[in-house]
Amino acid sequence: MKAWQVTAAGEPSQVMSQTDKELGEVGPGELHIKVAASAIGFPDVLMCRGTYPLTPQLPFTPGQEFVGTITEAGPGTTLPVGTRVMGVSAFMMGQGAFAEQCKTFEQMIFPVTTAINDADAAAFTIAYHTAYIGLVRRAKLIAGETVLVHGGAGGTGFAAIQLAKALGATVIATAGGAKKVALCRELGADVAIDYSSTDFSAAVNKETGGRGVDVVFDPVGGEIFENSINCLAHEGRLLPIGFACGRWGEISPALLVFKNASIVGTIAGGFDREYMLSMHNELLSLHAKGAIKVAIDRKIGFAEIRDGTQDLADRKVLGRVVAAN
C-alpha cells in the first residue's frame, strides 16, 4: 500500500516521503482501516520534528485522525468488517493514517452517522473530544461564564469556540493575524483579539470590565499561557491543552494562590469507554443540529499530504486540512 513516512527529524517538507509498506497481521484488539480521509494536525508536525511526546521510532507513518472502513478485525474486537468509523490511528506504533490503510484499536474509534461527511468526520475526533473534556469535564463550564480561547483558528481552538458558545458561555478568542481573527468571529466568538499585535490580557480585562475570564483554553503554551494569569478571574481555571509555540507555559503557584485559581490538566484520554461514547454521541448530536461545524481550510489529495503538513508548520492554515484517499 502507499504511505507517507517520516525518515528523520526535521521539517515535514524535508523528512516526509512516499513509500510502499505493509501493516502486517492484525493483532488482538486491533483493527485495520481503509482510510477514506485523514486530517493533518499540529502533532503530526511535532512528530516530524521529533518533539512530540508520543513520537514513534523512525521510520514511521504519521497521521492521527481518520475516517474509513474496517477491513480486518483482530481477536477480541466486536465491530464487523465493513463498518464505517472515525477516530485516532495507532500512530504511536508508526502506523498512522497518512496511508491507504492504517492500524488502530477498537477503543480509539467511534461511530459515524450518515449526517457527517468524510471531511468533517476525519477532523472531528481529537478537536471536539479535547474541547469537551477540557470545558465540560475538567473546567466544569456553566452557562453565563466567560471563556478565553487561544489559537482560536487552530485545530482545537475552533472546536472550543463553538462548544463554549453551544454551552451558553461568552467567548473571547485570540489568534495571530487579521485573517485568523476574522475566522474566530465567523466561528461565533463574541470578541476576537490579534495577540500578535495587541496585549491580549489588557484587552480581555477591558472587555470584561476588569473582572477577567472564568476559563482559559490554551493550545499555544509558552508566554501566551503565562500571560493568561493576568486576565484570569477569581477562582478561574487555566487549561493547558498543548504547546504549539514549542514549550509549555510555567506559572508561579503564588500567582494562582492570590486568585484562588487552578491549572487543570486536560487530555482526551484516560476515561472509560462508556463515558467516551456518551460524550461522542452528544457531540454528534450538536453537529447534526448545526451547533458545531468543523472549520475546513482546504481539502487535498493523498499526494499533497506532505505539502499540507508543511503549510500547517508554516502557520498558513485556517482550521483543518483534510486529505482524501
Task: Please report whether residue 284 resides in a domain.
Answer: no
| CATH at residue 174 | 3.40.50.720
Q: What is the mean pLDDT of residues 56-66?
A: 97
Task: Please report whether residue 285 resides in a domain.
Answer: no
Task: Please report whether residue 112 resides in a domain.
Answer: yes
Q: Could you tell me if 67 and 80 lie in one domain?
A: yes
| CATH at residue 84 | 3.90.180.10
Q: Could you tell me if 41 and 169 lie in one domain?
A: no
Task: Please report whether residue 311 resides in a domain.
Answer: yes
* Mean pLDDT of the residues in the chain: 96
Q: How far is the C-alpha of 98 from the C-alpha of 39, rounded, in Å?
A: 9
Q: Could you tell me if 108 and 150 lie in one domain?
A: no
Of all residues in the chain, the percent with pLDDT exceeding 90 is 94
β-strand 65-73 against 2-6: which pairing, if any? unpaired
78, 103 contact by CB (below 8 A) = no
Phi-psi domain of 141 (left: phi exceeds 0; alpha: psi -120 through 50; beta: other): beta
Looking at the predicted structure, is the pLDDT value of residue 42 above 90?
yes
Residue-wise pLDDT tens digits, 12-33: 999 999 999 999 999 999 999 9
Task: Please report whether residue 272 resides in a domain.
Answer: no
Task: Please report whether residue 96 resides in a domain.
Answer: yes
Q: Could you tell me if 245 and 194 lie in one domain?
A: yes
Q: What is the mean pLDDT of residues 65-89?
A: 97
Q: Could you tell me if 119 and 130 lie in one domain?
A: no
Looking at the predicted structure, is the pLDDT value of residue 270 above 90?
no
Question: Residue 22 sits in which domain range?
Answer: 2-124+294-324
Q: How far is the C-alpha of 24 from the C-alpha of 95, rounded, in Å?
A: 10
According to the model, what pLDDT value does residue 261 have?
97
Q: Could you tell me if 251 and 309 lie in one domain?
A: no
Q: Domain total for the chain?
A: 2
According to the model, what pLDDT value does residue 217 have?
98
Q: What is the mean pLDDT of residues 298-316?
A: 96
Lowest mean pLDDT among 214-218, 246-250, 279-283: 246-250
Q: Could you tell me if 114 and 190 lie in one domain?
A: no
Q: Could you tell me if 109 and 173 lie in one domain?
A: no
240, 263, 286 - which closes a domain: 263
According to the model, what pLDDT value does residue 106 have?
95
242, 263, 284 - which closes a domain: 263
Closest CA to 200 of 241, 228, 170: 228
Task: Please report whether residue 217 resides in a domain.
Answer: yes
pLDDT bin (cut points 50, 70, 90) of residue 65 is very high
pLDDT bin (cut points 50, 70, 90) of residue 155 is confident
Contact partners, residue 156, CB within 8 Å, separation at least 6: 126, 127, 130, 131, 217, 219, 241, 242
Looking at the predicted structure, is the pLDDT value of residue 245 above 90?
no
According to the model, what pLDDT value does residue 12 have?
98
The C-alpha cell that represents 240 in the structure block: 493547558
Q: What is the mean pLDDT of residues 251-271?
A: 94
Task: Please report whether residue 278 resides in a domain.
Answer: no
Per-residue DSSP letters for 61-74? B---EEEEEEEEE-
Residue-wise pLDDT tens digits, 86-134: 999 999 999 999 999 999 999 999 999 998 999 999 999 999 999 999 9
Q: Could you tell me if 258 and 197 lie in one domain?
A: yes
222, 243, 263 - which closes a domain: 263
Q: Could you tell me if 81 and 130 lie in one domain?
A: no
Q: Could you tell me if 143 and 191 lie in one domain?
A: yes
Q: How far is the C-alpha of 61 from the C-alpha of 274, rounded, in Å?
A: 30
Q: Could you tell me if 230 and 139 lie in one domain?
A: yes
Per-residue DSSP letters for 213-228? EEEEEESS-HHHHHHH
